[in-house]
């Protein structure tokens, strides 16, 4: 899939979504509908000792007819050559319509690649245990093949999702940057590594322009890179360009439609762009994709709250807090919006006590104080988030929770310090709510 995704003119759905059908006896037409694709590539691999047998077929999902099929028998070390042969065969089968060029061949160690694929599986989970298991698998792959660029990218990816949610940013983001830089050093065309490098530049150095340049480079290398589109969606939202944000987030969902991570973050982008119905629908879709998926906060609870559906919001935040074992700031904010300040203060106290022994982003605590009307305390925690390089601090420019601070000069100063233009941020907010 990685090789096919880099073929010019060919849209390939990301591995997270396409492999969600593995082991299922699903109808080809139904799979194509859910993935929004025209053709389906099916395959099977059988291994006996040092021999492998790969069967692959390309199917037109509209009529069920085979466009191409073949069987390959090779020694185990020849598995990567088979990948290239399948890629070239598919390109040849479709080239009349696409006029595409075949990708370059690569050589890898099969044992390292197997560990990489296992690491990739766990890297798409939202809990700390899975992400750390993924990190271990990628490191084991690199013990075998230190020059395996994709494994270095995988390590960068794990640190991206461990950061803020489970690990202090000043520990996680430097590790992410180092892994991304190593991946790019080994293979400059490793598109996803450019995404993580760019994100580290923005978080650690407030280099917004540098981050966006890396994301654009990622899309030059791989137009089908869903994570690049997702990150650019947040860049647009945080920078006051909602049109760009919406265009990129829709493309990210199109490229990886069954990924809970992409769906979860897409809901957040819709929320920041004041597309509340879209945010709610996408958050509900996330829950249908992965009922137990919780990462940092619940976009579904936030969407309900912004729509004034406070009872529903409270139920969601209560459920997600119970699922993670950690009280979510959204629970306190919802209590405050309901006028239940005593309950909000109780949750706030528990969260600040938890923050004495665990990392909690300062901007998350600040959002509770904003809801309670204590702006001085909010700015204390925002400054702490700035000092700690909270990755979610960028969200203050677009999250509805902070819009009541816009009239305070301290807010414009902070927006400027983290690399964004206050005028653009405020102009975008006025389009959403002229009273701001």
Nearest to 200 by CA among 183, 221, 220, 222: 183
In a domain, 14, yes or no: yes
**Which of 327-356 are b and which e, b meaning 16 or more Cβ less than 10 Å from the residue's Cβ?**
bbbbbbbbbbbeebeebbeebbeebeeebe
Tens digits of residue pLDDT in 291-339 = 877 777 888 999 999 999 999 999 999 998 888 888 899 999 999 999 9
Say what the pLDDT of residue 367 is.
Answer: 98
- Among residues of the chain, what percentage have pLDDT more than 70? 87
In a domain, 161, yes or no: no
Q: Taking residues 56-72, report their average pLDDT.
A: 78
Torsion angle in degrees (nearest 10) through CA of 264, 268, 274, 278 = 0
Say what the pLDDT of residue 99 is.
Answer: 40
In a domain, 234, yes or no: no
The number of domains in the chain is 1
Say what the pLDDT of residue 90 is.
Answer: 66
Say what the pLDDT of residue 91 is.
Answer: 63
How many C-beta atoms surround the C-beta of residue 189 within 10 A?
Answer: 16
| CA count, 13 A, side-chain hemisphere, 370 | 23
309, 316 Cβ separation under 8 angstroms: no
Residue 10 vs residues 81, 86, 94, 113, 225: alpha-carbon distances, Å: 21, 15, 9, 24, 12
Residue 286 vs residues 259, 265, 304, 331, 434: alpha-carbon distances, Å: 8, 9, 14, 20, 31
In a domain, 389, yes or no: no
Greater confidence (414 vs 27) lies with: 414
- pLDDT higher than 90, residue 60: no
In a domain, 32, yes or no: yes
In a domain, 156, yes or no: no
Greater confidence (41 vs 361) lies with: 361
Question: Can you tell me the distance from the alpha carbon of 115 to that of 354, in angstroms, rounded to the nearest whole number?
Answer: 36
CATH of the domain at 7: 3.40.50.10070
159, 176 Cβ separation under 8 angstroms: yes
Q: Please report which confidence band the pLDDT of residue 116 belongs to, taking 50, 70 and 90 as the band edges.
A: very high
Tens digits of residue pLDDT in 95-107 = 534 444 444 545 5
Q: Taking residues 244-260, report their average pLDDT.
A: 94
In a domain, 23, yes or no: yes
In a domain, 281, yes or no: no
pTM for this model (two decimals): 0.82
Greater confidence (20 vs 169) lies with: 169
Q: Which domain holds residue 24?
A: 2-98
Lowest mean pLDDT among 45-59, 174-188, 390-404: 45-59
Tens digits of residue pLDDT in 370-383 = 999 999 999 999 99
Q: Taking residues 226-242, report their average pLDDT.
A: 95
DSSP, residue by residue, 146-165: TT-HHHHHHHHHHHHHHBTT
């Amino acid at each position: 899939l990685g090789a096919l995704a880099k073929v010019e003119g060919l849209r390939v759905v990301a591995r997270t979504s396409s492999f969600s059908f593995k082991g299922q006896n699903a109808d080809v037409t139904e799979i194509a509908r859910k993935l929004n694709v025209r053709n389906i590539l099916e395959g099977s691999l059988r291994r006996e000792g040092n021999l492998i047998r790969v069967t692959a077929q390309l199917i037109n999902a509209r009529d069920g007819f085979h466009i191409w099929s073949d069987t390959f028998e090779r020694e185990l070390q020849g598995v990567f050559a088979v990948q290239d042969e399948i890629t070239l065969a598919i390109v040849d089968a479709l080239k009349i319509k696409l006029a595409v060029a075949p990708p370059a061949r690569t050589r890898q160690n099969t044992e390292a690649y197997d560990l990489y694929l296992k690491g990739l599986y766990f890297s798409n989970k939202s809990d700390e245990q899975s992400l750390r298991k993924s990190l271990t698998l990628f490191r084991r792959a690199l013990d075998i093949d230190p020059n395996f660029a994709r494994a270095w990218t995988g390590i960068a990816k794990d640190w991206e999702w461990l950061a803020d949610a489970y690990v202090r940013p000043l520990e996680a983001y430097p590790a992410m940057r180092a892994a991304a830089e190593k991946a790019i050093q080994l293979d400059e065309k490793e598109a996803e590594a450019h995404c993580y490098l760019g994100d580290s530049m923005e978080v650690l150095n407030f280099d917004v322009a540098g981050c966006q340049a890396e994301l654009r480079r990622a899309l030059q290398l791989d137009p089908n890179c869903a994570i690049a589109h997702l990150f650019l969606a947040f860049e647009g939202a945080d920078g006051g360009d909602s049109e760009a944000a919406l265009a990129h987030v829709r493309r990210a969902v199109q490229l990886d439609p069954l990924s809970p991570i992409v769906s979860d973050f897409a809901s957040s982008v819709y929320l920041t762009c004041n597309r509340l119905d879209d945010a709610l629908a996408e958050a509900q879709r996330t829950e249908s994709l992965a009922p137990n998926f919780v990462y940092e906060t619940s976009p579904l609870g936030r969407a309900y709250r912004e729509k004034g559906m406070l009872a529903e919001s409270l139920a969601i935040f209560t459920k997600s807090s119970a699922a993670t074992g950690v009280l979510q700031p959204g629970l306190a904010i919802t209590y405050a919006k309901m006028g239940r300040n005593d309950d909000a203060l109780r949750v706030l106290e528990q969260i600040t006590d938890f923050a004495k022994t665990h990392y909690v982003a300062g901007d998350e605590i600040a959002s509770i104080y904003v809801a309670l009307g204590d702006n001085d305390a909010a700015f204390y925690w925002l400054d702490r988030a700035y000092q700690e390089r909270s990755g979610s601090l960028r969200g203050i420019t677009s999250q509805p929770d902070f819009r009541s601070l816009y009239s305070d000069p301290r807010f414009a100063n902070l927006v400027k310090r983290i690399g964004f233009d206050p005028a653009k941020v405020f102009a975008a907010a006025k389009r959403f709510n002229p009273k701001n």
